[in-house]
Structure 1
Amino acid sequence: MSDHALSVVRAGALTTVQDLGRPGHAHLGVPRSGALDAPAAALVNRLVGNPPEAAVLETTLNGCTLRPRSAVTVAVAGAPCPVTVDGRPVAWGAPVHVPAGALLDVGAALSGVRGYVGVSGGVAVEPVLGSRSTDLLSGLGPPPITDGAVLPLGSPTRPHARVDVAPQPAPPAELVLRVTPGPREDWFTKAAVRAFTSRVYRVSAASNRIGLRTEGPALERAFTRELPSEGVVLGAVQVPPDGRPVVFLADHPTTGGYPVIAVVRTADLPAAAQAVPGTPVRFVSVRRR
């Protein structure tokens, strides 16, 4: 193993390698995957001088602790959290120099869910189908990070950004998701369609990288017959038998057998990645006339 690597001291609740994902393989049953909060991942890459396609680490709730084997530049963004180097507080949302052998601790999220750690050179694990992303549903890509793992790094190609701090949106106090009608909207009663865009839901603790699950009023079907499995896309809002909407995120399946009542605008999905359990959710119709 090269000296240009990261040793994982504490992996945290769930830390994965993510990049732009592996688009173009849905016809083979392979989801896109990739960073849930894509703007945050792109930001840490810009801050440390990486190209947009470089792989970063995505943390969940309680961060991670890393020890680089050589000096690196690191940036942490996404969910706000404390960051220290050998116990000394350093900037969040800005490039930070970490000497070889120093202990970089990315602490628990103060708000939001997912943090992103960009390292100069990028995380250089072996790509699968052109991507280094961990896909929790299909099992493609590297497995979730564990304590004691050693992650190879690429060679830096550009200097880091010269900024004091980079502005970022705060995690949502209320998650507003704009939706257009889905292919199976007519499978629900008119009252259910009205309830979907007028009632308030809340983010369920059962949410994950596959889907944002909600708690709230159950949506009644107009048809109770079985639906043959059909293709679904990023942001599709599927309604399982319990009637509570599920918003498909990066690791979603490419086909599903429950009706899709709507599809969320892609631009609204990064906020969904940072919505903590209990966050109010409103689905807002942007139906074209």
Structure 2
Amino acid sequence: MSGAIEVLEPGLLTLVEDLGRPGWAHVGVGRSGAADAGALRLANRLVANDEGAAGLEVLLGGLRVRARGPLTVALTGGRGPAWVDGRPVGHEAVLELADGAELRLGTVVAGLRTYVAVRGGIDVPPVLGSRSTDQLAGLGPAPLAAGDVLPVGHAPRDWPLVDVAPVGPWPAHVELPVVPGPHADWFDDPLARLCWAHDYLVTPATNRVAVRLDGPVVARRPDRVGRELPSEGLVVGAVQVPPDGRPVVFSVDHPVTGGYPVAAVVRRHALGRLGQLRPGDPVRFVRG
């Protein structure tokens, strides 16, 4: 161990996440991992970690931690004010914390989840090869609580090559590129129905399991109304349509099986956008 992070205030919900535990779906365990994997990868690159090192996923800000030993950290993903010992600091930049320094995250104003990477990674014990918290399966570390002390692993040998990463402005309107799903034949041209020039709105019933949407109904074909499907395997990004016709987009802690038809699937490169959607955000599906 090369240091530790002491949790003073955990915020609304802070989880330890890496890139997940693939390869266990056949026994009912999903991959899980960071809801915005691209943001975690960037944070790890900034502090010269392996991209899959475990970091902290902070929902809507509010985290306050103290460095035990000198630490190098970076913040990415959802943006909001941040301070080190009361001094404002930026995102997508390498930050040095002296022993005893306090890092505090304010309320996120763009996006939903901020990622904190620390050089060496969060070194909690892995479960099935991953340090990720899977809230649906109940695997991995518990959500952080005040008083927790998280060990930090040994720093990699190489140092960061940049001080800051150029990142563009936060998009005012999120588009999700989709392709037809395995049950597209349950609907009359499901992509046309999903991709009308209308927005869906993210509902408050959204979490790491699924992004639930309100908006135009995706109706089944008349010959499919009232029919049921046997449970089948699900993937992250699956756009499932329950009987009320309002799409549900599955996120990183999704169940491994489901019984409602999947009309479309979000393209892999856009999956991180799901993890940053907050209630009330407008979303538009586009043909991928």
State TM-score, norm by structure 2. 0.93
Q: Which residue of 1 aligns with 2:193?
A: 195
Asked whether the 8 Å contact 2:190–2:263 carries over to 1, the reply is no
Are residues 1:20 and 2:14 paired? no
CA apart distance, 1:192: 6.1
Q: Provide the aligned C-alpha RMSD in A.
A: 1.7
User: 2:92, 2:279 → 1: CA distance?
Assistant: 24
Q: How far is the alpha carbon of 1:109 from its aligned partner?
A: 1.0
- The residue that corresponds to 1:117 in the other structure is 116
Contact 2:123 2:151 in 1 (8 A): yes
User: Match of 1:147?
Assistant: 146
The residue aligned with 1:235 is 237
Q: What is the distance in 1 between the residues matched to 2:264 and 2:95? A: 42
Q: Match of 2:75, SS?
A: strand
Cα shift readout 1:203-229 (whole Å, capped 9, x = no counterpart): 222211111111102222232122211
Is 2:169 the partner of 1:167?
Answer: no
The one of 222, 226, 229 equivalent to 2:228 is 226
Cα offsets for 1:164-216 (capped at 9, x unmatched)? 4212244432121111111112223x276532221321122221111111110
- Count matched residues: 284
1:66-77 aligned at under 5 Å gives the runs 66-77=65-76
| Partner of residue 272, structure 1 | 274
Query: Residue 175 of structure 1 contacts residue 272 of structure 1 at CA under 8 Å; is this kept in 2?
Result: no
For residues 103-144 of structure 1, give each alpha carbon's deviation from its aligned partner in whole angstroms, at most 9, with x where no partner exists. Answer: 111221121111000011100111011000000110111111
One-letter code of the match for 2:160?
Answer: A
AA aligned to 2:265 is: V
Counterpart secondary structure, 2:115? strand
Letter in 2 for 1:174: H
Question: Which segment drifts farther, 151-160 or 19-28?
Answer: 151-160
In structure 2, the residue matched to 1:87 is: 86
Q: Which of 236, 246, 249 is residue 247 of structure 1 equivalent to?
A: 249
Structure 2: runs of 5 or more not aligned: none
How far apart, CA to CA, are the structure 1 residues paired with 2:46 and 2:191? 43
Measure the CA separation in 1 of the matches of 2:129 and 2:139. Answer: 11
State the one-letter code of the partner of 1:75: A
Structure 1 residue 275 displacement after superposition? 2.3
Name the CA distance, whole Å, in 1 between partners of 2:211 and 2:171: 14
> Which residue type is aligned with residue 99 of structure 1?
A
Asked whether the equivalents of residues 184 and 190 of structure 2 are also in contact (C-alpha less than 8 Å), the reply is no
Q: What CA distance in whole angstroms lies between the structure 2 residues aligned with 1:139 and 1:12?
A: 20
Q: Distance in 2 between matches of 1:219 and 1:185?
A: 11
2:93 alignment partner, SS class: coil
Percent identical among aligned pairs is: 53
- Residue in structure 1 matched with residue 95 of structure 2 by the alignment: 96
**Offset at residue 101 of structure 1 (A):** 1.1
1:158 maps onto 2:184 in alignment = no
Rounded Cα–Cα distance in structure 2 between residues aligned with 1:85 and 1:192: 49
**Residues 205 and 158 of structure 1: CA distance in aligned 2, closer, same or farther (over 3 Å):** farther
After TM superposition, list the pairs within 5 Å mapping 1:129-140 onto structure 2: 129-140=128-139
Is the contact between residue 45 and residue 160 of structure 2 (CA under 8 Å) also seen in structure 1? yes
TM-score by length of 1: 0.93
Could you say if the C-alpha distance between residues 201 and 31 of structure 1 is closer, same or farther in structure 2, counting changes exceeding 3 Å? same
